[in-house]
Structure 1
Amino acid sequence: MNKKLLSLAALMATLHATAQDSTTVRKQMDEVVVTATKYARKASETGKVITVIDRTVLDRSVGKDLSQLLTEQTGMVVNGATSNPGKDKSIFFRGATSNYTVILINGIPLADPSGTGGAFDLRLIPIDQIERIEILKGAQSTLYGSNAVAGVINIITRNGSKNKPAELYGNYAMGSYNTIKANAGMGGGNDKLRYNIGFTHFETKGISEALDTAAVKSFDKDGYMQKSVNVNLDGEIIDNLRVKPFFRYAAISGNFDAGSFFDSKTNSYDSKLITAGTQVNYKFNKGQVTAQYQFDDVDRISGGYTFRGKAQIAEAFAQYDVHDKVQVLLGFDTRIQQLLDTTAAKKNPEITIYSPYLSFFLKDLNGFYLEAGARLNNHSQFGNHFTYSFNPSYLINKNVKVFANLASAFRAPSLYELYGFYGSNPELKPEKSYTWEIGTQASLINNVLETRVVYFNRRIKDVITYINNRNVNLNEQKDQGLEIEPSINVTKDLNIKLYYSYVDGKVTTTQNGKDSSYYNLVRRPKHAFGATIGYQVTKNLFVSTNVYTYGTRYDLTFGPAPDYAQVMVPLKAYTIWNAYAEYKLVNNRIRIFADLKNITDAKYQEVLGYGTMGTNITAGVAVRL
């Protein structure tokens, strides 16, 4: 696989170099992103693999939740996205579990010390309050610290326009399974002050979470409700000094079943998130300085058990232009996390991480770019751990880029893995990972054909795995994958986007004095394919359709008595076909939309023994005044 990909990358680079050099840089390469280097930079100037979901796509995703939007992205599978709406969601990013993905809100990591593995619950993030999403792939611990092993998802929330003193917006939709979705907000501002306040309400009776295989169905439906508030301010106190306080509240509640193929009439959960903080940015002649603070409080009750986690992060970083082609980023962050549990072996355990980091950026040395950085993680329980990144890229011409990444990452065991209610093990060791990737990105034939091809290889030492009701360290996890993303701009109104992703992996452990390796990427397809066609039929009418296929996956179940050993069970491949349409009225201020999912009523399981939604539709109206 490695040799084939290297040959493919070299061939594409050669072909691209001889392609016509259009004066218009491809949209994706010319797009300004912030997540790759912590400050705004054109995508063409970084060799990191980044995907942007903009406001237009989000407007057309009103009928979805965040998990359903993310699972359509290349290299990303969100398990549970098409199951019962209230079911827990697990991100598999390039084959890695949720524990290896960092969720950012406006560049600041979210944390839930009470979550299994430290993963954050996607259900607490409403899609309606999002302005933009940047997905950064690969190991990113140098800039974003512990857990950034597979990648980073930066969710940028809505804020008011500086060109309007006040603007009202909202949407209302109804759909299958007695679903109601409503969102309302107001934002606006000028050069000195911007503001936004938004409210979201989502409720559905849902479907039975567990799969009912009886001839006469008797499992009850497991309902779900989500409510949220998002407040952002952005004010210029003095020239070049901006202060951005924020507040977010989200609450979810619902019912869940007893397990695979087993119903429950009484199981329920209730989770609340409070996030508050501020960002301060000061710009000067040759750079800028940013300081930010955030407090997260997650309070969750599930099945009668209470889980609560608190987290704080304080960070300061500065960018300085040493030369017109050389920039330096210097930063320091402090993270404090606490699991509030007086029944744990260690009552109310707490950890602190101090992390200085440094990054150098060389810009456009005859088309050559380089970012190199390092970070020292000082963990109160696990001591010092060093991570690094090395990211060269080269623009062969304005429309063709080749790149490589070499990076390490660090993940400390979460407080829940160490001291939590299920499977805790205070003897766990931190995980250390090493990732390398190569790729090419190009726009050909006057930007008609756009493509990106990436191969990645990841190795995690002392990987933490849940075995026999306990978290343990195994020797090593090895994963590799390939991502191909062609896009065809047939006309200015007709676009076709395709993707193919492949991922394979195995874990190595020592048994009876010998190393044993086996495939362990459960619930993740080796092969995934997707296609989206979007067509602006008229100035006011837009239609699109998308289809994606997940290959055969495997899940775990218990074998027969007396030992009940875990065994792999195949889950059949499936294809989902969706369609969307919208029509704009009154100078685009009113938008009528319909989102039809699973048109063929495909029958499949994302998780063994749990149901998925059949053909369903959401339709409504969105208004901007």
Structure 2
Amino acid sequence: MKYAYVALTTKALLLASAASAMAQSTPPRREPDVRPAAVDDVEVVAQNLEQTLPLTLAQYGSPLEIVTAKQIKDSGFIDVVQALELLVPGVTVSTQAGAFSYANISLQGSRNSDVLWTIDGVRIGNRLYNSTSPADTLPASMVERVEVLKGGQGLFYGTQAVAGVINVVTRPFTEEWKGAVSAGLDSNDGSHLNGSVGGGVGRHRVVLWGSRDQSDGYELYDAYQPNTDLKNRTYDVRSLGLKYGYAFTDDLHLTAQYILTDAKLDYPSVRGVSVNDRKETIAIGRLDYTPSDRVQLYLKAYHHQWDTDYYTRPAPSAYWGYEDFGLNAMAELKLNKGLAYTVGYEFQNYRGRDDVLLIAGETEQVHAAFGQIRTTDDFSRKLRLAAGVRVNSTPKTDSTVWNLSGAYDITDNLHFDAMVGTSFLLPDAQQLYGIDLCCSRGNPALKPEESFNINVGLSGRIGDQAWLISGWDRRIDNLITSDTSNPPAGYPSLFVNIDAEVKARGFEVTTRGPLGAGFNYLLSYTYSQERARGTNVQIAGRPEHSGKAILSWRSEGPFGADLSAKYIGQTESVVSGFGTQAYGDYWVANLGGHVWLDPSNRTRRLNVRVENLFDTNYATSVASAVLTGSSPSTRFLYHRLGAPRTFYVSLSQSF
């Protein structure tokens, strides 16, 4: 009996991932037949419709990057955002407070709110505030791989997938029992401990993992209010995951999993420290049924609970949190030669509350039906085409999106991708229901934002060197923003839909390959132009230029090293009292190295890492505040700083 899990090797995942080239001694190559089974070293124990969806979409024109657990371990990263920040071309990331903090993420010139985050396909985005990334509770030790689908993905993933999807895939099942434990320290008085164990007996499979990461952090700003004494940002994140699988038959499989995160996260400002004491749980159940090569189905239910006590000392705590549960069903049918059909239904029920913004437990329900038709190899082994539509319905509004995509192998070494379609972004709870007098008044009459996306890409190989040139153009209508022209009495502004159209367009160039003597490289440059309608000025806080470079080395002996760096170009923001301020224009490097202490068995490994290798002093944002006690009011300028040079060391043992 073969248990239903997907065992894709790193080389298979590299089929659509430029970043993952560092994990191999040779770069990825596109074959005319891009099915996983046609790639060297691919071991697919069984197909799982949901888990293979990103790779399938990549085969039909969706840009896909994949970061593997091996890359994360080799680089010594402790959370998911660090891996995205340095390893994924086309993704611009700046954390707000270092590891395990909120992050500002731009995917193909997007806002935070345009990127959907999922764990094993379950959305974990914060629908109280779409602009808040859920990345501060994702330890790297839980990851099998991170899949980054670029471009509008509203067809299969629904709201918020305007610029793409970041899917964190947790540790997989294994047939043989195995495990590992790792312990480490960092120079910010931090400690890091994680472990996992998994295996199977008969038709049963189980995997268990856990981690604890804590640190005293660093000072976030270059200027503070005079009476501020708490300046460091600390974190203490504990995560536990359990996944269980059972094979009723060779064709019918059950997967159940539970993830618990308990985190104490500081968020200092220039006047004090705000605290998020958080507990988050995710429960998932899925049935997979594959009666034949022509029919695949799955049914999934999930529940996501997020509870936070928020306070700024010495003020009392206030609650904010949400509950999200739903169902998802999908079927893939190959009813006739040359074509495959995918149909599905999704239900979401979301309820959120915030005692600060007085969002009083409002509930939102979404029903969606979607379908796609694709060509198969019986139609053509060089040309692959797909078309789909999704209809979304809420009690207040309906939205229909569509998608067309295709891929063509011009030659064995030249490949073309294209995708065009629409996506949508539902207003969040703050925009609909927020009633705090300090802020914009919520507006229950808001309509969803709508976007139109175009992606094109050309990739190929010259000898052992692989290259990619891709471009995008995205336009957003019904933009939701704050309007100060006629706000309700007592409020500074009102959330409204406006006619202004946001345009994001740009391109990405990536090359990668072997250099000899055990070295591999990746170089990537991204240009992103983001404009509001009627202007020729880059939107505040968005760099036009960014880039990444990776150099990896593997010796024939027990040693290895990985050097990665990112470049963020000059960025400008309008600051109250100071006008337009420029920041950015910096390089930040990360150096990781490892040595196997038992070279013959390779079970005991020592890792060292230097974050911000050259101790670059750089700002990720700029703002101003009124100086306490000043009369008349005097403002001072301050910058939010990136992490200083930090040393990490860890020892791991596998068994």
TM-based fold match above 0.5: yes
1:340-371, Cα deviation, whole Å (9 max, x unpaired): 35787774211111100001111241511001
- Aligned to 2:442, which of 404, 425, 439? 425
Q: Which residue of 1 aligns with 2:515?
A: 490
Q: How does 1:277-356 map to 2 (within 5 A)?
A: 277-285=284-292, 286-303=294-311, 304-341=317-354, 347-356=360-369
1:227-274, Cα deviation, whole Å (9 max, x unpaired): 11111112112231110001011122132223xxx241x532212211
Shift of the alpha carbon at 1:550?
Answer: 0.9
Q: How does 1:406-445 map to 2 (within 5 A)?
A: 406-420=420-434, 421=436, 422-426=439-443, 427-445=445-463
The whole-number CA distance in structure 2 between the counterparts of 1:361 and 1:22 is 20
Q: Which residue of 2 aligns with 1:130?
A: 143
Q: Which residue of 1 aligns with 2:25?
A: none
Shift of the alpha carbon at 1:375?
Answer: 0.3
Q: Which residue of 2 aligns with 1:503?
A: 528
Secondary structure of the corresponding residue to residue 438 of structure 1: strand
Shift of the alpha carbon at 1:624?
Answer: 0.9
Q: Which residue of 2 aligns with 1:139?
A: 152
Aligned: 1:622 with 2:629: no
- Aligned to 1:583, which of 595, 600, 608? 595
Aligned: 1:572 with 2:580: no
Contact 1:63 1:619 in 2 (8 A): no
- Aligned to 2:239, which of 228, 233, 239? 228
Q: Which residue of 2 aligns with 1:17?
A: none
The whole-number CA distance in structure 2 between the counterparts of 1:133 and 1:307 is 28
Contact 1:113 1:311 in 2 (8 A): no
Summarize the Cα distance change of 1:38–1:477 in structure 2 as closer, same or farther, 3 Å threshold.
farther
Q: Which residue of 2 aligns with 1:538?
A: 556
1:350-400, Cα deviation, whole Å (9 max, x unpaired): 111110000111124151100111000112222x21100000110123332
Shift of the alpha carbon at 1:53?
Answer: 1.1
1:323-349, Cα deviation, whole Å (9 max, x unpaired): 343110000000111113578777421
Summarize the Cα distance change of 1:423–1:225 in structure 2 as closer, same or farther, 3 Å threshold.
farther
Q: Which residue of 2 aligns with 1:18?
A: none
Q: Which residue of 1 aligns with 2:214?
A: 203
Deviates more, 1:466-475 or 1:533-542: 466-475
Aligned: 1:400 with 2:400: no
- Aligned to 1:105, which of 112, 119, 132? 119
Summarize the Cα distance change of 1:399–1:234 in structure 2 as closer, same or farther, 3 Å threshold.
farther
Aligned: 1:449 with 2:461: no
Summarize the Cα distance change of 1:522–1:61 in structure 2 as closer, same or farther, 3 Å threshold.
farther
Shift of the alpha carbon at 1:159?
Answer: 2.5
Supply the AA of the counterpart residue of 2:255: K
Secondary structure of the corresponding residue to residue 71 of structure 1: helix
Deviates more, 1:395-404 or 1:56-65: 56-65
Q: Which residue of 2 aligns with 1:238?
A: 249
Q: How many residues align?
A: 581
Secondary structure of the corresponding residue to residue 361 of structure 2: coil
The whole-number CA distance in structure 2 between the counterparts of 1:519 and 1:410 is 25
The whole-number CA distance in structure 2 between the counterparts of 1:546 and 1:325 is 43
Q: Which residue of 2 aligns with 1:473?
A: 497
The whole-number CA distance in structure 2 between the counterparts of 1:488 and 1:35 is 31
Shift of the alpha carbon at 1:217?
Answer: 10
Secondary structure of the corresponding residue to residue 430 of structure 2: helix
Contact 2:185 2:648 in 1 (8 A): yes
- Aligned to 2:70, which of 56, 78, 88? 56
The whole-number CA distance in structure 2 between the counterparts of 1:41 and 1:67 is 22
Supply the AA of the counterpart residue of 2:276: Y
Q: Which residue of 2 aligns with 1:600?
A: 614
Summarize the Cα distance change of 1:60–1:350 in structure 2 as closer, same or farther, 3 Å threshold.
same
TM (norm. structure 1) is 0.87
The whole-number CA distance in structure 2 between the counterparts of 1:62 and 1:319 is 39
The whole-number CA distance in structure 2 between the counterparts of 1:93 and 1:40 is 17
Summarize the Cα distance change of 1:424–1:299 in structure 2 as closer, same or farther, 3 Å threshold.
farther
The whole-number CA distance in structure 1 between the counterparts of 2:30 and 2:369 is 42
- Aligned to 2:283, which of 276, 288, 291? 276
Secondary structure of the corresponding residue to residue 643 of structure 2: coil
Identity of aligned residues (%): 18
Shift of the alpha carbon at 1:577?
Answer: 1.9
1:436-456, Cα deviation, whole Å (9 max, x unpaired): 0111122331xx111111010
Deviates more, 1:535-544 or 1:133-142: 535-544
Shift of the alpha carbon at 1:87?
Answer: 4.0
Secondary structure of the corresponding residue to residue 79 of structure 1: strand
Supply the AA of the counterpart residue of 1:543: A
Aligned: 1:555 with 2:573: yes
The whole-number CA distance in structure 2 between the counterparts of 1:68 and 1:180 is 17
Summarize the Cα distance change of 1:492–1:431 in structure 2 as closer, same or farther, 3 Å threshold.
farther
Q: Compute the RMSD of aligned alpha carbons.
A: 2.8
Q: Which residue of 2 aligns with 1:76?
A: 91
Aligned: 1:121 with 2:134: yes
Aligned: 1:525 with 2:538: no
The whole-number CA distance in structure 2 between the counterparts of 1:220 and 1:342 is 26
Summarize the Cα distance change of 1:361–1:539 in structure 2 as closer, same or farther, 3 Å threshold.
farther
TM (norm. structure 2) is 0.83
Secondary structure of the corresponding residue to residue 619 of structure 2: coil
Supply the AA of the counterpart residue of 2:259: R
Summarize the Cα distance change of 1:155–1:148 in structure 2 as closer, same or farther, 3 Å threshold.
same
Deviates more, 1:397-406 or 1:129-138: 397-406
Alignment gaps of 5+ in structure 1: 1-20, 509-515, 561-566
